[in-house]
Amino acid sequence: MDEMKITLVKYNWDKLSNKNGSIQATIDGTEMSVPLDPANRHYAEILRQVNAGTLTIADAD
Amino acid sequence: MSKARGLADFGNAYSDGALSNRNLIINGDMKISQLGTSFTGVTHGTYTLDRWELNEDSAAEFTITQSSETPDGFGSSIKLDVTTADTSVGSADYVVFEQRIEGYNAQSFGSGTSNAKPHTVSFRVRSNVTGTYICELKYDTGGYEASQAYTIDAADTWEYKVLVFPPQTLSAPANDNSAELRVSFWLLAGSNYTGGGTLSTQWTTTDNVRAVGQTNLVASTSNEIYFTGVQLEVGDTATPFEHRSYGEELAACQRYFQLYPKDTVVTGSCYNNDPDWYFPFVFPEMRAAPTVTFSNNPLIFCNNENSATTSVTSSSNNDNIKSIRLQAQSAAVGSAGQAGWLQLNAANSYFTLDAEL
């Protein structure tokens, strides 16, 4: 099965809570803010690709 | 249908536990399409009309539209028009048009128990390509699938189909917000899904009997197929399509996807002199914390000025399904403590919240 094409992946730093607030990623050509919720399909796929060793999430700026 | 037949079906529906909210499919009459009415270059993993997704491993591409070509009693259908054909079908190739149902809504079948009930799928279909097609139900927990064949008998003619699937006693779906049951209409199937000999109408985890006999709809760019009036209900009887109001159907769809159009305003304040802006945004509860996508960078309005944002991101407490904070930056406006608002000004711009399955 084809998988989501995920590039340009990095955490977004939330200055209010002083922690990572989401992930900024380009998924199938569209830039998105992905919440850190395993029930979110985009985050689940990011985690799957990270665990498979095919994707790395960069630290927040 | 005779009056006696109708009353008998009504009695069966009552016995199966539902006289209202019978249809577990959302947007079965294709009336809701928040993101637009025409989608070009559609390939794997694309939602178009609300709740309906195309999945494939194929060279095929589609233009998918919300169509006014309908059978009597319906206002919309979905049209899948093949724009790139797959004429060299590999063993792993497939194309399915499907809807996933979350676990909370899949409990009424009693699946995974000895008292499990049948599933009935009914729908209206029209295509220029006659032949055998496959409709499949799949439970994600346990991976059990069952298929039923139907035939499109006449080209370019609406036909009503009813398919009854047996009770599934093998595995109970999770009672949560995950994808647990899917209804799939096959449009292409390679030998990995057809090579097992006989179509499995019983629940199985064997792949090569899932779509035996499936016609290749995507063999030509002249081909197209329409669906509407899709209903999945408990029991062995197809009742008339359950028409819900536009508002009810839209609200059901917005648990999974919400679109906010041009000129939507979100108020907030400037946090520091960088300047970082925060815009709290509360929305109707969704299935999961949503992915946020802006079609264009919005403007920040503050102190009689406005300026394009240089970035907009979201943040939340991970699994917050009712609100997010939009965090934006603009080089030109804002200092700590100032109030302002975020607004999409560009023509046809929007932002979306996506909690689809």
Give the tens place of pLDDT for each residue, A34-61. Answer: 999 999 999 999 999 999 999 999 999 8
Between positions 14 and 53 of A, the ones with CB within 8 A of B are: 14-17, 21-22, 24, 28, 30-37, 39-43
- The fraction of chain A above a pLDDT of 90, given in percent, is 85
Angle at B293 between CA B57 and CA B37, to 5 degrees: 65
Rounded to whole angstroms, what are the CA distances from B150 to B141, B167, B211?
A: 26, 19, 11
Confidence of residue A3 (pLDDT cuts 50, 70, 90): confident
Mutant choice from B285, B293, B313, B323 vs A, greatest count of A C-beta within 10 A: B313
* B149 strand-pairing partners: B134
Handedness of CA B122, B126, B127, B128 (dihedral sign): positive
Respond yes or no on whether ipTM tops 0.95: yes
Which of B133, B144, B164, B140 minimizes the C-alpha distance to B227? Answer: B133
Q: Which residues, 6 or more positions from B5, have their beta carbon under 8 angstroms from its beta carbon?
A: none
d(CA B25, CA B328): 37
Q: How far away is chain A from the Cα of B77, in angstroms, using its nearest Cα?
A: 27
Residue B226: strand, helix, or coil: strand
Q: Determine, for residues A12 and B314 on separate chains, whether the beta-carbon distance falls below 8 Å.
A: yes
Q: Which of B56, B271, B316 sits opposite A21 (nearest CB)?
A: B316
Counting Cα atoms < 13 Å in the Cβ hemisphere of B87 gives 7
Q: Determine, for residues B316 and A2 on separate chains, whether the beta-carbon distance falls below 8 Å.
A: no
Quote the pLDDT of residue A2: 61
Q: Which of B287, B313, B355 sits opposite A24 (nearest CB)?
A: B313
Q: How far away is chain B from the Cα of A56, in angstroms, using its nearest Cα?
A: 19
Q: Which of B177, B324, B354 sits opposite A39 (nearest CB)?
A: B177
Burial classification of residue B247, based on how many CB atoms lie within 10 Å of its CB (0-12 exposed, 13-18 middle, 19 or more buried) = exposed
pLDDT string in tens for chain B (357-residue length): 677 877 777 777 766 666 778 999 999 999 999 999 999 999 999 999 999 999 999 999 999 999 999 999 999 999 999 999 999 999 999 999 999 999 999 999 999 999 999 999 999 999 999 999 999 999 999 999 999 999 999 999 999 999 999 999 999 999 999 999 999 999 999 999 999 999 999 999 999 999 999 999 999 999 999 999 999 999 999 999 999 999 999 999 999 999 999 999 999 999 999 899 999 999 999 999 999 999 998 999 998 899 999 889 988 776 789 999 999 988 889 999 999 999 998 999 999 999 999
